[in-house]
Structure 1
């Protein structure tokens, strides 16, 4: 089932998510819904808070990495990154977010990440990611911490985000869109 995607301003997007404690059929159904919603959006990742559920779950649908599967779920993840190199972001650093739809901004991210998480059955796994896939993992992990990528922007980009939020009447609870 395709779920509505929550837009910036809803408290669930700006609060740390809770750990998953039950690895049961309802969790499997939720994960399936998250994959379906991600594809319909279309997106490359989706965190549970983005569909209004404050649990530590995110999925990815991204087939351009060497080691990890093209689809995956991370439950109760821990993410380890290399230090981010100083410097200005470039056009290749642009990313978007389903919870701040139709906009993209450049943000520096670590080029490498190590993810430790559980799958939908509760089995632990570890994977390493580089490049764009490492960016996806960092972006989705941030959602579980209550941070949107636009919250990390500074200067003119932060001012533009503020203006867009005001113009679109975002920044308040209860707003969503359905892919």
Structure 2
């Protein structure tokens, strides 16, 4: 592509997360059947309804992401549009655009995903800018970085203090994800043993 104006959206239709959507629909169907047809569930209906709401919200968010998700690049900056939120960054706010190995690679087809980082170390994932959607991903990323350097006014350079912030935020995200997963397992065990 020539110039800076680009839109990255879904190009390939089939990907592994569709099986996750089908699994969510299946679980939702079982929960609806449990809530409506099983006479023994009436005392525990509240958590069946709560689980059903969680599954339905997940399905709606997946469908919205597939419909709205885009990475829009222009002369003013870069925009990452997801299911519900839109993150806009001007070129002066963008510290770096880099490809990283996908931590969900075993559940998604994309091996590499792209993030736009700010100087405070916060990263924003760029939807559909990955090696599953773009056949020549690394060349496209290099071309985008070269074209956007003209609009930034500076070349892409790494600063040690910002790299430390990025590493610290990545470590904190991993700790929080482990804590959240442990909390879900504890809540699930409490439901199983106390119900």
TM range (shorter): under 0.3
Q: Normalising by the residue count of structure 2, what TM-score does the alignment of the two structures yield?
A: 0.24
Larger RCO (alpha carbons 8 Å, 6+ apart): 1
Higher helix share: 2
Higher strand share: 1
